[in-house]
């Protein structure tokens, strides 16, 4: 075992002394050393319940015959970080998390890892570490939050009943009493936000990839089932160590294609594009951005999930969960290995019934194509991403007049002051991986568009990204980004922009000669952040179409 390097032999006497100083008995030195990377924090609703799950993972590890060690991993709540300087740090923490897990596991020669996670960048960061280390690993996602409930029976969710409610209040659609009810009921307790936002999408994809046990991706944070999954995961990691089942045996091209298809079938967060590209790179799997669009053309959307639809995670879980979606996808699913020990198709074969009012059959889809589309054109030579599951039919093809803003704050001010009108295309630039830096989520402006009733008459494009809660004609990840001199930097007020999602086009109606003149006159602006680790991050982070990864190049 890897841990023999710190527990066995005369020359390891000092190492054993330190382990005994930490309370490890001599009798445990022969057992697999299992690291439990926990992202518990009091700051994030999705993580405040992890102390309970830690206990059950620990019980499982010791029941399985291993010895466990907790170590902490930081987490950022995107909702709390939204709309101010804090959001610059969100995506970059994915890289920190991967590096921290790698550092602890390698420095202490851990034999295996249980990765306890839940929200946005934390889950993909841990998966990146697992793929990079390639030591036996299993992921436990802490589970989604229950929907909020009002006295009138209404169900509340975080994004639509806070961010969009702000704009509805501003427009006079709701009064202060209703706004307060939204604030009080949107987040009733522990767990990741209730709809198919980034956290829950990544939990589902983690299970689909085969890195979590069945039902882990959808079992509620408040459920006894989640405790049992945590215990079983602790037991299972010891088995994985003994049989040397490693992440790269599980994270194959077939597994990634299955995960992308499930994402497309559910209409999940567009952030998963960034994360799946980054995880695949760590796993040594070739996964070009175009793969998402190729699969989207042939994978129909089978569910209508909040925020674009009416179903919550609790509905998906009882309808059949991840395995229910895979069962409905039928022959489109490829066989792959899982941490459970059974293959994907073996697990699916055990599903008898699926609630087809939530997860539709292939021949009766919600939409004929998957939830994500990849656009190209002279505005996005390296690609752009749109969550087409959240776009109305009216806005699938649209031509509008550019309104240009060099930050999210500028665009938000114009929106709230009535400066954006029907027929506009809001251009928000210098918010990419380098330009942000950190590729902030542009949730507040997109929620304002919907709340102000402009979702069917105004489009938004950005080199930044969106919350999983975003809906409407919002195109992100535009590559190359403005800070690299990409065409989005050259758009001027009044230019005409064509959005054509069915034909996968994003075009600026300006001739090539004029664009060349604008580029020759363009000057790269000063970095928005010039100190701290974000200034270093901006120098090494790559474009969105590669997954916004950091390299040493």
Give the residue numbers annotated as catalytic, written as ranges: 467
User: In angstroms, how far is CA 324 from the centroid of its own chain?
Assistant: 21
Rounded Cα–Cα distance for residues 485 and 478 (Å): 12
Rounded Cα–Cα distance for residues 233 and 258 (Å): 22
Phi-psi sector, 529: left (phi>0), alpha (psi -120 to 50), beta: beta
482-515 burial, b at 16+ Cβ within 10 Å, e below that, comes to: bbbebbbbbbeeebebbbebeebbbbbebeeeee
Rounded Cα–Cα distance for residues 354 and 321 (Å): 9
Q: Are 210 and 246 in contact (CB under 8 A)?
A: no
String of DSSP letters for 166-201:
HHHHHTTSS-HHHHHHHHHHS--SSSB-SSS-HHHH
| H or E element at residue 222 | none
CB 306: neighbour CB atoms within 10 A? 25
CA dist list (Å): 363 to 300, 334, 359, 360, 440? 9, 19, 12, 8, 38
3-state secondary structure of 412: helix
Q: What is the CA radius of gyration of the chain?
A: 23
Phi-psi sector, 532: left (phi>0), alpha (psi -120 to 50), beta: left
364-384 burial, b at 16+ Cβ within 10 Å, e below that, comes to: ebbeebbbbbbbbbbbbebbb
3-state secondary structure of 269: coil
| H or E element at residue 372 | strand 372-377
Degrees, nearest 5: CA angle 212-218-223: 100
In the 8-state DSSP scheme, what is residue 289?
T
Burial of 1 (0-12, 13-18, 19+ CB in 10 A): middle
CA dist list (Å): 443 to 33, 208, 449? 42, 27, 10
Rounded Cα–Cα distance for residues 212 and 209 (Å): 8
Q: Which of 276, 215, 219 is nearest to 251 (CA)?
A: 276
């Amino acid at each position: 075992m890897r841990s023999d390097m710190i527990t066995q032999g005369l020359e390891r006497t000092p190492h054993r002394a330190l382990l005994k100083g930490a309370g490890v008995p001599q009798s445990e030195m022969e057992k697999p050393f299992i690291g439990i990377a926990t992202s518990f924090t009091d700051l994030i609703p999705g993580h405040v319940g992890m102390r309970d799950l830690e206990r059950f993972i620990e019980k499982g590890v010791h029941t399985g015959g291993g010895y466990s060690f907790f170590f902490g991993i930081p987490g950022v709540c995107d909702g709390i970080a939204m709309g101010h300087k804090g959001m610059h740090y969100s995506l970059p923490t994915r890289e920190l998390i991967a590096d921290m897990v790698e550092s602890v596991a390698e420095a202490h020669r851990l034999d295996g890892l249980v990765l306890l996670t839940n929200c946005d960048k934390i889950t993909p960061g841990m998966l990146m570490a697992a793929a990079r280390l390639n030591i036996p690993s299993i992921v436990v996602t802490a589970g989604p939050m229950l929907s909020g409930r009002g006295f009138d029976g209404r169900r509340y969710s975080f994004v639509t009943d806070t961010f969009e409610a702000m704009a509805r209040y501003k427009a006079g659609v709701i009064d202060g009493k209703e706004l307060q009810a939204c604030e009080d009921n949107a987040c009733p307790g522990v767990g990741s936000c209730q709809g198919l936002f980034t956290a829950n999408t990544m939990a589902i994809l983690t299970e689909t990839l085969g890195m979590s046990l069945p039902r882990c991706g959808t079992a509620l944070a408040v459920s006894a089932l989640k405790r049992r999954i945590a215990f079983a995961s602790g037991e299972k990691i010891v088995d994985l160590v003994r049989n040397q089942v490693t992440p790269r045996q599980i994270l194959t091209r077939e597994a990634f294609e299955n995960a992308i298809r499930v994402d497309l079938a559910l209409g999940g967060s567009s952030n998963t594009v960034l994360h799946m590209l980054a995880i695949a790179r760590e796993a040594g799997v070739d996964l070009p951005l175009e793969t998402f669009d190729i699969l989207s053309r042939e994978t129909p959307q089978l569910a209508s999930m909040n925020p674009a639809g009416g179903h919550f995670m609790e509905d998906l879980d009882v309808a059949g969960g991840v395995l229910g979606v895979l069962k409905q996808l039928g022959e489109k699913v490829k066989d792959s290995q899982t941490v459970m020990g059974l293959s994907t198709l073996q697990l699916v074969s055990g599903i008898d019934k699926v609630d087809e009012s939530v997860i539709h059959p292939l021949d009766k889809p919600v939409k004929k194509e998957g939830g994500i589309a990849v656009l190209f054109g002279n505005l996005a030579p390296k690609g752009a991403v749109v969550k087409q599951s959240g776009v109305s039919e009216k806005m699938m093809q649209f031509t509008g007049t550019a309104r240009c803003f060099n930050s999210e704050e500028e665009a938000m001010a114009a929106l709230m002051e009535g400066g954006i009108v029907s027929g506009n295309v809001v251009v928000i630039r210098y918010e990419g991986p380098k330009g942000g830096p950190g590729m902030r989520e542009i949730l507040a402006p997109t929620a304002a568009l919907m709340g102000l009733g402009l979702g069917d008459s105004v489009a938004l494009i950005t080199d930044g990204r969106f919350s999983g809660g975003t809906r409407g004609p919002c195109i992100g990840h535009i590559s190359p980004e403005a800070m690299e001199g990409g065409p989005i930097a050259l758009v001027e007020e009044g230019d005409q922009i064509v959005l054509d999602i069915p034909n996968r086009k994003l075009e600026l109606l300006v001739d090539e000669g004029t664009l060349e003149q604008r580029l020759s006159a363009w000057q790269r602006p000063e970095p928005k952040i010039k100190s701290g680790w974000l200034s270093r991050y901006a120098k090494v982070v790559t474009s969105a179409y590669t997954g916004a990864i950091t390299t040493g190049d």
